[in-house]
Amino acid sequence: MRMLQSLDLAGAVSTRVSAASRPPKWRARPWVPRVVGLGTLVCLLVVLEGLCAAGRVNPFLVPAPSTIIASFPMLLVEHHLPQRFASTIAKVCAAALLAVLLGGFLGWAFYRSRNMRLAFRSWVVGLNASPSILLYPLFLIIFGRGAGTIVALGVISALPPIVLKTSEGLLATRRVLLDVGRSFNLTAFQQFRLVQFPAALPIIFTGVRIGLIYAVITVVGVEYLLAYGGLGELVPDLADRFEIPAMYAAIIFVILVSAGFQFVVQKVERWLQSV
């Protein structure tokens, strides 16, 4: 009897323990991370606003978030934000398209030719590790002070991860999948389109995503250096005019553009995988 009681007790304890160890239901909700992230941001902004209002930080160097938000209309009207956005995004898209085409081809060539891969892979890795933006004086002479230089540098910076990940993805295709393709007597092109490319797509898109991040950074960075068109030119121009809240607003806008670009790329990746 005592044993039974102790067993019951043990069962009750174990039930309590398992109930206690199980995470509460709200933690499993998909909106929780978003709320936590957004809440943290809002809290930080409120703290900053309070520090500015209390005069604890220099409002000239670190303006209040409300002032930054209030300067967006000025960016739209006086500094032609939509036109600048279109200019930058056009250059990013051009650089991305060229980098994907060229990088995809080179990645495929690396996959096809072992000698080429062994000969040039280290070059691409080296290029990936180097700050290619420093080449801008050279490109300035070749392409002139204009969109050509900016796009070319965008391509150069985006290329290495796309090349490396494309070849890596194609090389990583499982042999069993290739064998299945062969058993169906697929042509080389069909084998590539129906087996290798879909299998390599997740790895290829990792390279594309990294490459596009580099392209956005480089395009905005070279616009900044050349003071030529787009969002990159806007930030130093506002800084030099001491429009500090508007400068922060422009920086926030650039970050949002970059995040939006990544979001679009993710959507494209999912769409391609579903097709």
Using the rule CB under 8 A, give the single segment among 48-56, 97-105, 240-248, 249-257 that binds another protein: 240-248
- When asked if residue 93 is in the footprint of another protein (CB under 8 A), the reply is no
Q: Using the rule CB under 8 A, is 31 a contact of another protein?
A: no
Does residue number 237 form part of the binding site for another protein (CB under 8 A)? yes
Nearer to another protein, 242 or 271 (CB): 242
Phi, psi angles (nearest 5°) of residue 112: -75, -40
- Residue 61 interacts with another protein (CB under 8 A): yes or no: yes
Q: Establish if 198 lies at the interface with another protein (CB under 8 A).
A: no
Residues 6+ away with beta carbon under 8 Å from 104 = 162, 166, 204
**What is the sign, positive or negative, of the torsion defined by CA atoms of 210, 216, 219, 221?**
negative
Per CB under 8 A, does 235 bind another protein?
A: no
**227 is a site residue for another protein (CB under 8 A):** yes
Nearest to 95 by CA among 205, 220, 273: 220
Separation CA 132–CA 138 (nearest Å): 11
* CA pair distance 81, 126, nearest whole angstrom: 36
Between 181 and 245, whose beta carbon lies closer to another protein? 245
Query: Measured from the CB of residue 130, what is the shortest distance to another protein in angstroms?
Result: 22
Site size toward another protein, by CB under 8 A: 20
DSSP line for 70-86 = HTHHHHHHTS-HHHHHH
Please identify, among the stretches 19-27, 37-45, 139-147, 176-184, the one whose residues bind another protein according to the rule CB under 8 A.
139-147
Q: Choose the stretch contacting another protein; rule: CB under 8 A; options: 15-23, 58-66, 174-182, 256-264.
A: 58-66
DSSP string, 220-247: HHHHHHHT-SHHHHHHHHHHHTT-HHHH
Least distance CB 173 / another protein (angstroms)? 47
Q: How many CB atoms lie within 10 A of CB 103?
A: 27
Residues that bind another protein (CB under 8 A): 58-61, 137, 140-141, 144-146, 227, 233, 236-237, 239-244
